[in-house]
Structure 1
């Protein structure tokens, strides 16, 4: 009889260890996916000072727009959590949209080879960010689902595993883009 109890306890402990290890693995995948977004966002933020300097030469009186781009970039650099970084990213997107709208007002700037190159680089990075965001959200979905299903939810709560946030578009990014000629 004692052997049966020991076997039942071993099976339960083995199940708990398996679920716990799977939670750790999936949480680490989420962290890795976030770091891939972070790499692409840093590439974007490395391009921003070059774009701002290029635009400065053509639009020196547009100081506020240029300062907002740098301020948004610095907010991201100082973000401590993924939630802070997501919010800072949304600020950067808005500031960059205003910067490129400003560039439309300066035909010489739009024809500048350096500006065109930087704009192309930024477009490529934005595509990579989009793919990284999708991968991150897929990974978060798998982790959160695994964490929330029965009996995993008991173990996850016992060891204080938290849901991970999705990388979502902010309200500005959801609005229709107005194109005027």
Structure 2
């Protein structure tokens, strides 16, 4: 074999090796985003299990606040439905409604001293608030993972490998407009 053939062969081998490295990086990014989503999913399920307990605790004291309690349960079901379908847009909207409903529920609970004094209610409120915080943290991590994936599959030379192997952009888990707006506390306490 002549030296020119060896050089061409070595260049092709290096190019193939580089393509393999790019492919593996893209697969890794996709799996990182999937793992980040699975972490959110676990917390959503935990919160889903805690909400009926909170509503039951509130029902004992808040006889006149049925609308607020029902809104929380409807939003809880909407989150579960969107989660089951894997519809991130619907999940973001349902999450916003649930967070809004929980905020209203906790604000209304201030008017019921017996409820606020209940150890069971305080425990559930602390647990759900902690889950909300953890979901927000993991949502940020998920969106960072998705963003890294989406940027890489659009950058050269990764875009060549991404198109060759049909890597598609992933969807961010975004807040809906009501959740981005300031809360009107005066309206909540009417």
TM-score, normalized by length of structure 1? 0.87
Partner of 2:168: 162
User: Aligned to 2:156, which of 147, 150, 164?
Assistant: 150
Verify: 1:55 aligned to 2:61, yes or no. no
Gaps of 5+ in 2: none
Aligned residue for 1:7, secondary structure, equals helix
The size of the alignment, in residue pairs, is 181
**Distance between the aligned counterparts of 1:104 and 1:132, measured in 2?**
29
Pick from 34, 37, 43 the counterpart of residue 37 of structure 2: 34
Give RMSD over aligned pairs. Answer: 2.1
Deviation of 1:46 after TM superposition, in Å, equals: 1.6
Between 1:9-18 and 1:109-118, the stretch displaced more is 9-18
Instruction: Answer yes or no: is the 8 Å Cα contact 2:153–2:162 preserved in 1.
Output: yes
Q: Is the 8 A contact 2:93 2:175 kept in 1?
A: no
Larger Rg: 2
* Aligned residue in 1 for 2:74: 71
Deviations 1:64-87 (A, max 9, x none): 322221222122222222514333
Instruction: Determine the structure 1 residue equivalent to 2:130.
Output: 124
Greater shift in the superposed pair: 117-126 or 5-14 = 5-14
Q: Displacement, 1:61?
A: 3.6
* In 2: Cα distance, 1:82 partner to 1:143 partner: 19
Q: Is the 8 A contact 2:92 2:176 kept in 1?
A: no
> SS in structure 1 opposite 2:185?
coil
How big is the shift at 1:102? 2.6
Residues 85-137 of structure 1: CA deviation (Å, up to 9, x unaligned) = 33332221122122223323323222222111111111211221222122222
